[in-house]
Amino acid sequence: MAASMCSRSPRRPTAARRTHERACQVASYFKKAKPKSKVLVLDGNEDIVSKKGLFLAAWNDLYKGIIQYTPNQEIKEVNARAGTVKTDFDSFKGDVLNILPPMRAGDIAVQAKLITHNNRWCDVNWLTMESTVAPGIHVLGDATLSAPAMPKSGSMANNHAKIAAAAILAHYLGEAPNPQPVISNTCYSYVSDTEAMHVNSVHRYDAGKKTLVPVAGAGGVSSGRNALEKGYADAWAKNIWADALG
């Protein structure tokens, strides 16, 4: 029996979505090719923090007996040769280990001395995406210290780039940046080769708070997984690749 193990550090909702989606894809393969195999998800959080009901329904309906979710299991030690991981109180073994270590901004941000928060993230001016410690240097995507309820996602990074590009153009034209940028985020999760689901949100700049804040009543999550959402996810992927890569 093959065993695949996905584990992650706590308090990262977007990493949670990616981990849980990855577990679904592995389980989908196991269900067809290796039905006696298991996927063990070790979560450093106390519970599923993103799209909980949707993921639980998918695991129960599609992968019952294949995916095992275990919370409160922050990884303390990994032995790649032995295929084992240790938490505070338990030890687990798998044929394949997929470990998500604690994340931070990349080495280029460290070397440029742009890290400002918890030795991990970069504070930015949300009107221009410029570093608060190095104006003129624009920081995008996962490297930023997220605004309230803002996910670290490809969709959001793409929107960060558009704020930065507009601000750079305004600078060269001698104009002020847009005083109230509005951006949106959409994260699709494939739970099988035929079904997907999503979460989305809208964020507007608040001059008083000097940050982007969620727009009340905008966005939400799928009512359920389905084939139509999978089609939307495919189209979204093609569009954002074309938008980002040209």
Residue 80's CATH number: 3.50.50.60
Which of 49, 70, 100 marks a domain boundary? 100
Label residue 15 by pLDDT band (50, 70, 90). Answer: low
- 30 and 92 co-located in one domain: yes
- The pLDDT, as a whole number, for residue 7 is 54
Instruction: Tell me the pairing of strands 196-206 and 182-190.
Output: antiparallel
* Helix (H), strand (E) at residue 221: strand 220-221
Domain hosting residue 11, numbered range: 3-100
- 96 and 180 co-located in one domain: no
- 128 and 162 co-located in one domain: yes
* Number of domains forming the structure of the chain: 2
Distance between CA atoms of residues 17 and 198, nearest Å: 10
Residue type, 47: D
% of the chain residues with pLDDT over 90: 83
- 75 and 157 co-located in one domain: no
Q: In sequence order, which residues have a C-beta less than 8 Å from that of residue 102 and are 6 or more positions away? A: 9, 120
Distance between CA atoms of residues 109 and 143, nearest Å: 8
**181: CATH:** 3.90.760.10
**155: its two tokens:** 């969709």
Label residue 134 by pLDDT band (50, 70, 90). Answer: very high
pLDDT at 9 over 60: no
Q: Are 38 and 5 in contact (CB under 8 A)?
A: no
pLDDT, mean of residues 169-188: 97
- 112 and 86 co-located in one domain: no
Buried/exposed 87-122: b ≥16 CB within 10 Å, e otherwise = beeeebebeebbebeebbbeeebeebebbbeeeebb
How many other C-beta atoms can be found within 10 angstroms of the C-beta atom of residue 45? 18
- The pLDDT, as a whole number, for residue 100 is 86
Distance between CA atoms of residues 30 and 17, nearest Å: 20
Backbone angles phi, psi at 224, to 5 degrees: 180, 170
Which of 100, 128, 163 marks a domain boundary? 100
Which of 79, 100, 121 marks a domain boundary? 100
